[in-house]
Every structure is written in C-alpha cells, then in structure tokens.
Amino acid sequence: MKLFRATVIAFSIALVATGCNQSHGLKTATIDDVQQMLDDQKDGFVVITNETSAPFLDETEKALLEKKEYALQFNVFRNDGKNENPDGLSKNPFRFEMQHVNTIYYLKNGKVYGEYELETHEGLRQEEELRYFIDSMTGGATNE
C-alpha cells in the first residue's frame, strides 16, 4: 500500500511539474499573438495548422520540449485560439508570410527565415528532421 501511495504521489508531482512548465512546447495562439511577433520583429517558431490533434503536432511538441524551445500554434479554423471560426471556414491571415498549413516556421526579426512541412515524414524520421530543423534555426544545441 505504501508503494502504491508513493507511486501515486510521485506521478502526481511529475504531472503537476510538467503542466506548470509552460515556457517550452506548443502554445495556442490567436491572430493577435502571431501578428505581435511579426510587428515586434521577434525571433521564434510559429506552427500554422488546420489540425487540433495529429501525430505531427505531438512530435513537434516533443521536439520543442527536448530542445527547450516553444512555438506559437495558430489554427486556421480557430482564429481566436479557442473556438471554431463562426463561419466554420479556414482563415490564414498570414498567408503571404506563411502560406502553408501544417508547417513550422522560424521567424528571424519578424520575417520567415526557415520552414519545415510537418506532414513530410513520420515517426523516428520526423523526430530527427524536426530536431535538425530546430537546431539549424536556433544555432545548434546551445539551448540544451
């Protein structure tokens, strides 16, 4: 019984610690969040997607967490970051800067510097390609 209780407590602590670490991984974004990044000429990752749950989003989250990076995740069907667009249609107000959906972009000084299409590979190959993309955009493994 003590072992069970200790296991439950350890799992709960790990779960809370993981949930509290919001500085890495994917962060749901609104139009304003992404536009602010462009306007302020910031560096960082942005994922433009039309999915709410897909293996490539899980793989992206994992790679970002491993590399201690984060990305704004903008869903073209949920422009406010939470609710579906009232008309149910896809809207990408950033289509001139970031044309493709299901793609991770790296912005440097508010301009697209690199991109990687997230549906190109799967599984282990996807993880390797994502890690390489993140490293190549941020200058290698300096954040680890």
d(C-alpha 33, C-alpha 23), whole Å:
15
Alpha-carbon distance 132 to 104, whole Å? 13
Q: Which CATH class is domain 23-138?
A: alpha beta
Per residue of the chain (144 residues), give pLDDT as tens.
555 454 434 444 444 444 444 589 999 999 999 999 999 999 999 999 999 999 999 999 999 999 999 999 999 999 999 999 999 999 999 999 999 999 999 999 999 999 999 999 998 999 999 999 999 999 875 444
Residue with tokens 């809207």: 91
The pTM assigned to this predicted structure is 0.81
H or E stretch covering 66: helix 55-66
- Cβ–Cβ contacts within 10 Å for residue 118, how many? 25
Burial 92-102 (b: 16+ CB within 10 A, else e): bebeebbeebb
| pLDDT at site 23 | 87
Cβ count within 10 A of residue 108: 13
Q: What confidence score (pLDDT) does residue 5 get?
A: 53
